[in-house]
Structure 1
């Protein structure tokens, strides 16, 4: 793959990962505001206020989406936990090989997570299961989370390409 094409792909994947993580962050901010209002409403019940109806259902769905929304950004930036105890004694080639193996393993994990989340979403869709208080369909939460999981798969596939290029001595930095 020519470097110009790789640069464009890198920018696109970076934009996707950053964009979905930003969306996840905005959802968390909304959840924080809603939770604060709900707690305040509970505290001021004597004034006729009350909690936000279904607040815990909304928090559950929103946090699930946010977790999946942050995973692509974390993978793109190599932010997942890693054990680099022996990294200083290994040479550059072996470290790049380990990065490639780790990226392949993360891709497999991302794919399995997305696949199982998709099957769960289809199951919830078929049974029309709803939440207890708000009565919104649970598959909506699964679908929102699946967007992040699908992005995680795409970003993980790109990271394999990036690690492979590094292993082969090809440039991977978009500023090169």
Structure 2
């Protein structure tokens, strides 16, 4: 039962992460295009022409605060993809040592890494919670668009909480696999 909820949470976060990543790509492309066109319209032979002045008057140029918005979305996007990656065993791994271990030792090692990863994500979530509280308390904003920084922290915190929940689920599953020899989740590195 909980596995179904965890899998749904991981898929939802991956979808949201993909949507945010797509929005950041579009924002970046539009801003670069605007910056390029602005430069072209201000250089000879177009500089000062009626067409150039009319287009520049519309505000054609880079998107104001584009880097601040991308920066804010990136932390969420990273955390949004962690749950599906963790659930499917898709993290990068080096098999030089583990390939020589027996199945039981590999299961034990997978459980150890899963527990450590869950602990680290819980710690990151806790720190993000503290950071969100601090940014709210002090009213910090970004320089250009005065975007409240705590919004970005809160978005990253949402992703970190989902990541930690999935990581705890994976850690418990890996511990059960190590203890019983059963297969609950895809093997590490299989990304199936």
| TM > 0.5 | yes
Match of 1:111 among 88, 113, 122: 122
Structure 2 unmatched ranges of 5 or more: 42-54, 187-192
Q: Secondary structure of the equivalent of 1:44?
A: helix
The answer to which of 13-22 and 123-132 deviates more is 13-22
**Displacement of 1:173:** 5.5
User: Cα deviations across residues 89-118 of structure 1 (Å, max 9, x unaligned)?
Assistant: 221111111111111110111111111111
* Larger of the two Rg values belongs to structure: 2
**Equivalents in 2 of 1:130, 1:90: separation in Å?**
51
- 1:14 — aligned with what? 7
- 1:5 — aligned with what? none
**Equivalents in 2 of 1:55, 1:88: separation in Å?**
46
* 1:169 counterpart = 2:181: yes
**Displacement of 1:13:** 0.8
Q: Secondary structure of the equivalent of 1:145?
A: helix
Match of 1:149 among 149, 157, 160: 160
TM-score, L = length of structure 1: 0.89
The alignment covers a number of residue pairs equal to 167
- 1:57 — aligned with what? 68
TM-score, L = length of structure 2: 0.82
Matches within 5 A, 1:16-35: 16-35=9-28
Structure 1 unmatched ranges of 5 or more: 1-7
**Displacement of 1:166:** 1.5
- 2:88 — aligned with what? 77
- 1:126 — aligned with what? 137
Distance 1:66 1:40, change over 3 A: same
